[in-house]
A and B are shown apart, each in its own frame.
Chain A
């Protein structure tokens, strides 16, 4: 109940801070891929971990601050005072963790790899877990296709693509193809995050501005227009499609990296653009 109190609603600054950092991380990791590619030192663990730690974990923690009061009714007193140190700690640990990979620090590398392997690869559970994922993905696809609503924005498309990737990941998981599983799984949650982030930011910008009493506050479509969501969707889709080609020749890696870089840049532009609209109205005193 306390989670609904007007004084305890999480401030927009929290989500803005976490999401913009996640976008910057995603963009920087694409630059890092490019750098390592040209140094001929690109290997899978680093991009995977930069996705998981820098992009996914940062987004999820930010979303958690927003969602906890709604879903669990749990309230964090003085959320900014907690969100900022956690953000800094996560940022620092992510940088140290990824630095360990980059500098080939064996202790950190072993720790990360063991943790990852333990958490997702456990042979006796492989088949039932794959079946559960497949059921979840197929049910979600069914519900998405069943929806009668005419939706102009791209979140459902990101979810459909994400579920397709999850299905692929589950199949690779069942077959014990660890590398292929890892890549499809990373792409799966990236797709969901891309859709979710470009939905949450415009909604919260409208919600807060309208809540401040701004008449005719800009709508979600005016904050991140569907055509700009479309650019992230199609460039991300092309990125996914480009990856199998890297198996034919590693020369194709550069194509995937550039597509990642481009998608990350557009995402960063969209999210920062949304935050910018919020700040513009707030600075003008609404």
Chain B
């Protein structure tokens, strides 16, 4: 059985690869394929956020009593990431390649430092305080 860290870190890598695919298709000028790949990336990323916000964070907060701590910061960064995903989607619809890459660049830095904080600090704390197999199962059921 996966630990929370392993399960969610794997999802981070999957989302990274899906995003890299979008950029690769755009580089080749394949706009329609890029749009489809973007939809896949968006769905996976938002699903990942939902698993954390609906299952992991409330469980962590309930167990530790820390409500205004790391989970709050992570929610704030999810909101920032969602806004950038929407802006990227608009740029794709309007076929504004340069703008897409500009937003994507900011998105990548945001998400890399966000993932680093989760993987190095938050997830190991969750593994320590919660029952990993139960939490992974709940996230999987979403």
Contacts and interface: CB of A to CB of B under 8 A. Distances in A.
Interface of A: 1-7, 9, 70-71, 73, 148-153, 199, 203, 206-207, 210-211, 215-216, 219-222
Contacts, number: 77
B73 A5 contact: yes
A contact patch SS: helix
A203 B109 contact: yes
B contact patch SS: helix
B23 A207 contact: no
B69 A2 contact: yes
A149 B109 CA distance: 13
Contacts of B23: 148-150
A284 B20 CA distance: 37
12 contacts: A1-B125, A4-B73, A4-B117, A70-B120, A150-B26, A150-B101, A152-B98, A203-B110, A207-B110, A210-B80, A215-B83, A222-B102
Contacts of B116: 70-71
Given A207-B80, A210-B80, A5 B70 contact: yes
A4 B120 contact: no
A1 B20 contact: no
B113 A1 contact: no
Contact size range, B: 20 to 34
Counting from the closest, the 8 A-B pairs by CB-CB distance are A4-B70, A221-B102, A220-B106, A219-B106, A5-B69, A203-B109, A6-B73, A4-B73
Contacts of A221: 102, 105-106
A281 to B, nearest CB: 15
A203 B113 CA distance: 11
B92 interface: no
A2 B73 CA distance: 11
A4 B74 contact: yes
A7 B113 CA distance: 18
A151 B69 contact: no
A222 B106 CA distance: 11
B121 A153 contact: no
B105 A4 contact: no
Contacts of A4: 69-70, 73-74, 117, 121-122
A206 B102 CA distance: 12
A152 B102 contact: yes
